[in-house]
Structure 1
């Protein structure tokens, strides 16, 4: 039996989640936007190591509960380890979230960077809706890759020398058409929820703008630089031939793939921890209320 891919990416997940949000923004959402004042039962679809629980539980009213579900046994074991000394009521379900049935007993159904990895986003959204009580709330934190790619500024370089937006937009669209998995799903979720009968739909964007500042403390600079590299910015693209072959298989022309390889190779050499860089992930945060 082959290893589940995300079970091998716990280190990556741990190093990159903090690039997306400031902690006070979570507090603002919980207290000022969603106005959660009574204990709630939360279920997290594709919970990974329970990241969303670590952000939400300290902000939710006492006696709130958190249930996380994921197919990765190492992720679930890591989540249990994280929460074993925490003063919260938690439960973790190991299994394919698409196949596990949940009772209609939760006040909040949440997912974070999960829908982009499935082919049937609307079906998963319907399943999330189905486990909510009347007036329950669905909350989806999902990416819009192309807006994230447009939000880099590397000092000393034109943005067009760092990211080929037009090419990447077409590439992502072709990927979605071919595989059904959509890295731009975050911007589409408000439409999907409305089509599924959800009401009071709102969509926001993650607030954090990361600033790599070589004039800052060395440990801060190194931590951010390491996380940005882990997230893929300035990463070594590897050997040219397989890189180009992969992009061609995804629908790129040979010239487009060759240009992308040259750009990423150049960026991997230029992006060092003494560079000035600003970057915003622009994660989309969509919520709505279920009326039964």
Structure 2
């Protein structure tokens, strides 16, 4: 939980989120926000202090643990919030919302198009549907670690085959971030725009809380410790079952092992730069035309 809170809190520059709310989305009056796949309410913690007074926030998530944590956090802060423990796709929403938002969700669900359509259904006429997603391809190029080979860090080594297999057989879309404007057009949203998050994360050894930044980098890439033979075999088999040939799978795992060894050697003085590659795409649900007789 602490790891999740630290990493989510580093995704944004506060002034950029304020810019989106005030200058891009032009939110001047209180709004009702629905956060789809809310986790512990990270998006709400960013938004609520910046939204007009009287705004409300509702979060829905499959994880009971995350919903419980969200309730505890928001109670302590005194933020107005409502929590739903359930499946967003099947939940029967009655209320409609001014802003329907998700962050780092569509990349991980099996049917992102279905999820996006449900987001539109939950929006009121004229409401905004907002999806914030990292692009998997640019994620591969976004990490630089000083004293390591940048080319090795951003090597794909057959990953595109894995992504293609996930997409074709599971529906999990590695490129959902760059497809989102087109998906929003297909479901009938208007005034569609995309932006890029301007946050860049960097650490120089112990500077800027470097120890936690470095440890989190190791954890998210699973470089904390050497792989056991059993773990190595399981990963290799997984990659082969998801589209790589054996040579590609073995090469990918060996590259990860070597990178992990090098990073652990630099652990105490690890210096790196990373871009979240977060694409913010939004569109507006059209007003329903009513005819009177």
State the TM-score, normalizing by the size of structure 1: 0.91
Q: CA deviation at 1:166?
A: 5.6
Q: Distance in 1 between matches of 2:150 and 2:132?
A: 26
C-alpha distance in 2 between matches for 1:26 and 1:145: 22
C-alpha deviation, 1:152, in angstroms: 1.3
- Tell which deviates more after alignment, 160-169 or 125-134: 160-169
Are 2:158 and 2:249, in contact at CA under 8 Å, matched by a contact in 1? Answer: no
From the superposition, tell whether residues 273 and 198 of structure 1 become closer, same or farther in structure 2 (CA, over 3 Å). Answer: farther
Distance 1:237 1:123 in 2: 39
In the alignment, structure 1 residue 67 sits paired with structure 2 residue 62: no
Q: 1:15-30, aligned counterparts within 5 Å?
A: 15-30=6-21
| Pick aligned residue for 1:88 from 76, 79, 84 | 79
Change (3 A) 1:284 1:235: farther
Q: Give the Å deviation of 1:87.
A: 3.1
Partner of 2:283: 288
Match of 2:269 among 263, 274, 282: 274
Distance in 2 between residues matched to 1:58 and 1:233, nearest whole Å: 34
- Structure 1, unmatched stretches of 5+, are 1-9
2:105 is equivalent to residue 114 of structure 1: yes
What per-residue deviation string (whole Å, max 9, x for no partner) do you get for residues 194-247 of structure 1? 011111111112221111212625xx1112112222322644462322221111
Tell me, what secondary structure is at the counterpart of 1:140? strand
Is 1:250 equivalent to 2:252 in the alignment? no
Change (3 A) 1:200 1:89: same
Q: Is the Cα–Cα contact under 8 Å of residues 104 and 130 in structure 1 kept in the other structure?
A: no
CA drift of 1:155 comes to 1.9
| CA RMSD between the two structures | 1.7
Per the alignment, residue 124 of structure 1 pairs with 115
Deviation of residue 138 (structure 1)? 0.6
How many residues align? The count is: 281
> Contact 1:237–1:264 at 8 Å: present in 2 too?
no
Unmatched tracts of structure 2, length 5 or more? 288-293
Contact 2:144–2:272 (8 Å) recurs in 1? yes
Q: For the residues of structure 2 that align with 1:253 and 1:144, how far apart are their CA atoms?
A: 24
SS in 2 for 1:54: helix
Are 1:150 and 1:165, in contact at CA under 8 Å, matched by a contact in 2?
Answer: no
Q: Which residue of 2 aligns with 1:38?
A: 29
Q: What SS does structure 1 have at the residue aligned with 2:77?
A: coil
Tell me, yes or no, if structure 1 residue 221 matches structure 2 residue 210. yes
* Per-residue deviation, 1:89: 1.7
State the match for 2:139 in structure 1.
Answer: 148
* TM-score relative to the length of structure 2: 0.90
Shift of 1:154: 1.7
1:97 lines up with 2:88 in the alignment: yes
